[in-house]
């Protein structure tokens, strides 16, 4: 069945998510090795990662698992 995670509903052009290859309708399964099932889980992982650091994302895309690398950026 469908794995627990966070569904991506929008990817902003030029954002770290877009540069990592994340797509709308992807489902984030884990970020930096930690499972994410709610927005708060994702936010904690992002806040715990230094700006400019690579962060591995494990994503469910269709029926397959894809691993992407995002580089964190400062929030405006």
Q: Is 41 among the domain residues?
A: yes
Task: Read off the pLDDT of residues 9-40 as tens digits, 9 standing for 90 and up.
Answer: 999 999 999 999 999 999 999 999 999 999 99
The number of distinct structural domains making up the chain is 1
Q: Is 26 among the domain residues?
A: yes
Q: Is 76 among the domain residues?
A: no
CB 55 within 8 A of CB 74: no
pLDDT band at 76 (very low <50, low <70, confident <90, very high): low
Report, as an integer, the average pLDDT of 45-56. Answer: 91
Q: What are phi and psi of 59, to 5 degrees?
A: -130, 140
Which residue range(s) make up the domain with 28? 6-71
State the CATH number of the domain containing residue 23: 2.30.42.10
Q: Is 18 among the domain residues?
A: yes
Percent above pLDDT 70 for the chain:
95
Q: Is 20 among the domain residues?
A: yes
């Amino acid at each position: 069945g469908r794995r627990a995670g966070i569904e991506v509903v929008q990817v902003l052009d030029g954002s770290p998510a877009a540069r990592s290859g994340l797509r709308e309708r992807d489902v984030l399964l884990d970020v930096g090795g930690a499972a994410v099932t709610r927005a708060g889980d994702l936010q904690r992982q992002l806040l715990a990662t230094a700006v400019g650091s690579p962060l591995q994302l494990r994503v469910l895309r269709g029926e397959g698992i894809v691993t992407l690398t995002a580089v964190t950026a400062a929030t405006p």
